[in-house]
Structures are given as C-alpha cells and as structure tokens.
A and B are shown apart, each in its own frame.
Chain A
Amino acid sequence: MQRKNKFITKYDFGNNIVSFDEYVISFGTSCSLNCEYCYLKYSKTPDTAVLYKIQPIEIEKELGELFRCGKKFFYFTAGETTEPLLSEEHWDNLCKIIQIISKEAKKYNIKCLIEIRTKTDNILKFKSLPLQDENIKIVYSATLSPQEIINNFEKNTVSLKDRIEALKYAAKLGFLLSINFEPIIFWPVSGIQKKKILHSLHILLNNYKQIINQVGDIFENPNFFLLNLSCLRLTKQQYKTLSDKKSKLCFFEMFLCEDGKYRYSRPLRITIYNELINFVKFLWPKIENKIFLSFEFDYIWRACGLKINLSNFIF
C-alpha cells in the first residue's frame, strides 16, 4: 500500500505531558495482536495489518526537513501505528527505514534513538539488526505484563516468559534495553468497596514486583536504558465502547483528564508508581534516573519524586 501521509510524524501528547518529543515512524498500520485496550481497534484502520511501500526519496526529504530544524537529538518510536516485529515483512520494512534514518543522521550529524516496542518474541526468529553506530542507537523495548493480564487483555501476544526470554536475547545482541510496564491495568478487581480495592492494589503491585525480580539481570546490564511506567489510558470513545461491552478494563475509579483520556484516579496512579519505583530503587539504586512515567503529567512526576531531566537518556 502507498502511504498517503508522512512516514515520520511528531507525536501529539497534549498539554503538560512529559515526553521525549517523540517522532512516530509509520511504516504500516493496524495489528493482528488485537489487545483489548489498543487505540488501533477504535480508529479507522484496516482489519488486517498493512505495510506501506517504502519510498526512500520521500523519507529522506522528510528527515532532511526535520534534521535541519536545529535540534541535535531525536527520539523515534516504531511501535505506535503497528507492532514492529509482527511479521518478518514488518521487520524488513522497518529495517529499511532505519537504514535511511542512519544515513541521514550521519549526513546532518544528528543523534537518534529508535525505540522498537514489542509484545512478541520474534526477535528470536528474525535476522539481527546491525544498526548501532555513533549516530543511532536502537532500543529493544519489551512490554511486560503479568500473565493474568496477558490472558485477559492481550490474548494474541506471547507469554510473559517468552517476552522475557526475547528481551534477554536482545541483550545479547547489544541493543539498548527498555522495560515497559505499559499499560498497567488495575486487575483483578476483587470487589467495589475500598477495602477490596486496596487488596486488589496489593495483588497488582506484587505481580509487578515478581516481574521485576525476574528481569534483575536486565536492570544490571550496562545497556539498560529505561524503565517505563504508565497506567492504562482510554479515550472517551474507548471508555464508552468498552463499558457497553462490559469490559473489565473499565475500572470505575477513572477520571477524564485534560488530554481527553480516562486514567485511574491520581492517588491510585501515584501509589502504583511510587511503590514500583521504591522497589526498583531499593534493589538497583542507580536505576532512579532511568525511570520514565510515560504519558504522565508533570505534577505526577513531582509527586513520585522524579526529576524531569531528559538529558539522562541522551547518549
């Protein structure tokens, strides 16, 4: 399929959201993983995953415009419009774009990070990516969720065990490494009373702490780049559609935020983040400046005692 719009677009986060100023690489659209919370299910995308025909001249032109703006560092993300490792064709297509970015980055002397965010273990099967150079670094970013969450809301994805195995393999390949706890889903919910909610929260935190213990060697790896935490966000439309379908994603204590997305209430989010941050910091104190609260407001960062210093992440 011919791409009608740009291949590279700036992500619009909305007011007061802390971000890397990410640029999205659109090399395809839609996704067969069908995660219950994914925004792609609610946007006008084809039913099956589609790849765009790579047009090198167009991409070079887009990158040229971008790289001439004066900024010396760019963060690209490849997991927004489709799953980057969904199929070998997806991976090949992305690799072609990465090669173009690499060439242009060298030409303009720009540093780039390219995040490949995945819920698959396909890195084990596809050809490796020889693309780490002085201008460009690839971040293998594994989304890790408790197995119970995978079973309920990410049914077509691989198991937690397989995702961890793939992450450890990516470590051997020399990628920068990122662990994503995104979205953190409030589940299971054992009841509607406050006491039951607190019990559910305790279960949620224990589930994530167990995962943290399973990936201790990743936190200790010199290529460890980022721990990303982010609670579930749902658009107004998603919240309505999912509640009509009686989806367990529609937790009742969610509020509409200024960016038009429903989030768990502030005390819940802050407690989840703080508990996980303190747990990781206790085990690996140096990790503190590698923790990122994705799609969160600056006052949430402050409440979690995190300093907004994005230069920690620039190589």
Chain B
Amino acid sequence: MNKIEEIFNSDKIHLTFSEKKFVKETTKILKIFFNKTEEVIYKKFKKIIANSNDKIKNKTEFLDFIYSLRYPISWQKIKELKKINNKIPFNLEFDEQKFFKHNIEEIKKIINKIE
C-alpha cells in the first residue's frame, strides 16, 4: 500500500471522497516538481496524528497542510480573506470592489501581492 492510501485508510482521520480526490491530485501535481512529495505528506500526517486522536481536528490540520503545499502563495491569503467574507471564491478570482464594501485598500494589499 502506498503512503497516501495508508493515510486514507487510517482510523485517525476522516476524509471525504472529494477531499481524498484533492489530496491525490495534489500529490500527483507536486510530484512533477518534487519527487519526495509523498514522504513529506506522510511525515506531516504522522506528526499530526501523534498529537491527537480527534479525527476532525486531524482532518482540518492535515488539509490545511495540503493546501499550503499546493498553493504556497495564495493559501494564507485565502484564509485571511475568508475570515472577512466567507463567500469569496476559493480561487481568489473575483472583483474585490464588488465583494468588499469596507477596508478595500487593505484587501487589495492582501490579494494583489505575493507577500
């Protein structure tokens, strides 16, 4: 069994079908650029489950890690913007002037810069 399947079969994490699909797809894409992707993901998984038996908490932490690997530039921005308006599209492709009424300059700084 490969490492990703082992994670999916673990009783210490609960992942839905679409979450598993996303993890698989992310592993596949990242492997094109970094061949030790599976090892990195597995190591992080082991670390997460060593600290907690809460399946849902583990899922949140694990997926957060996967998102940060997949979208190293955008992930923190997505999280920050979601706190302000939970309805914003995940891909950040939207007109900020239509979505946000206030703090527009602050939001522009988050969304339009890499840092």
Interface string of A174-216 (1 = CB under 8 A from B): 0000000000000001011110011001000000000000000
Task: Report yes or no: A192 in contact with B73, Cβ–Cβ below 8 A.
Answer: no
The residue of chain B having its C-beta at the shortest distance from the C-beta of A299 within the complex is B95
Confirm or deny: B1 has a beta carbon within 8 angstroms of a beta carbon on chain A.
no
Q: Please, how many residues of chain A have a CB less than 8 angstroms from a CB on the other chain?
A: 32
Bound together, the chains give a CA A268 to CA B74 distance in angstroms of 9
Asked if residues B28 and A243 are in contact (CB atoms below 8 Å), the reply is yes
Closest chain-A Cβ to B114's Cβ sits at a distance in Å of 5
Question: With a CB–CB cut-off of 8 A, which chain B residues contact A270?
Answer: 112-113
Question: Given contacts A255-B92, A271-B114, A299-B95, are A265 and B71 in contact (CB under 8 A)?
Answer: yes
| Contact yes or no, A253 B114, CB < 8 A | no
For A266, the chain B residues whose CB sits under 8 A away are: 74, 91-93, 111-112
Q: Name the interface size band of chain B.
A: 20 to 34
Expressed in whole angstroms, the Cα–Cα distance for A265 and B91 within the complex equals: 7
Report Cα–Cα, A136/B30, bound state, in Å.
48
In the complex formed, the residue of A with least CB distance to B40 is A192
Residue A283 at the chain B interface, CB threshold 8 Å: no
Tell me, rounded to whole Å, the shortest Cβ–Cβ distance linking B93 to chain A.
5
Verify if B14 is at the interface (C-beta below 8 Å from A). Answer: no
Chain B residue nearest in CB terms to A244:
B28
B69 at the interface (CB under 8 A from A): yes
> Are the C-beta atoms of B93 and A257 separated by less than 8 Å?
yes
Number of residue pairs A-B, CB distance < 8 angstroms: 86
- By beta carbon, the residue of chain A nearest B69 is A192
Chain A residues in 8 Å Cβ range of B17: none
Mask: chain A, 251-277; 1 = CB below 8 Å from B; 0 = not: 111011110000101111011000000
Contact A192 B72 (CB under 8 A): yes
A247 within 8 A of B: yes
Contact, CB under 8 Å: B32 / A246: yes
The answer to whether the Cβ of A303 comes within 8 Å of any Cβ in the partner chain is yes
With contacts A252-B70, A267-B112, A270-B113 taken as known, whether A243 is within 8 angstroms of B29 at the C-beta atoms is yes
CB-defined contacts of B37 to chain A, threshold 8 Å: 192
Taken together as a complex, chains A and B put the C-alpha atoms of A294 and B32 apart, in Å, by 28
Q: Tell me if B79 is interfacial: C-beta within 8 Å of chain A.
A: no
A253 contacts B33, CB within 8 Å? no
B residues lining the A interface (CB < 8 Å): 25-26, 28-34, 37, 69-74, 77, 90-97, 108, 111-114
**4 closest Cβ contacts across the A-B interface?**
A255-B91, A194-B72, A299-B95, A265-B74
What are 13 pairs between A and B in contact, CB < 8 Å?
Answer: A191-B33, A194-B72, A198-B114, A253-B74, A255-B74, A255-B91, A256-B91, A266-B111, A268-B114, A271-B113, A297-B93, A299-B94, A299-B96
Query: Could you list which residues of chain A lie within 8 angstroms of chain B, going by C-beta atoms?
Result: 16, 189, 191-194, 197-198, 201, 243, 246-248, 250-253, 255-258, 263, 265-268, 270-271, 297-299, 303
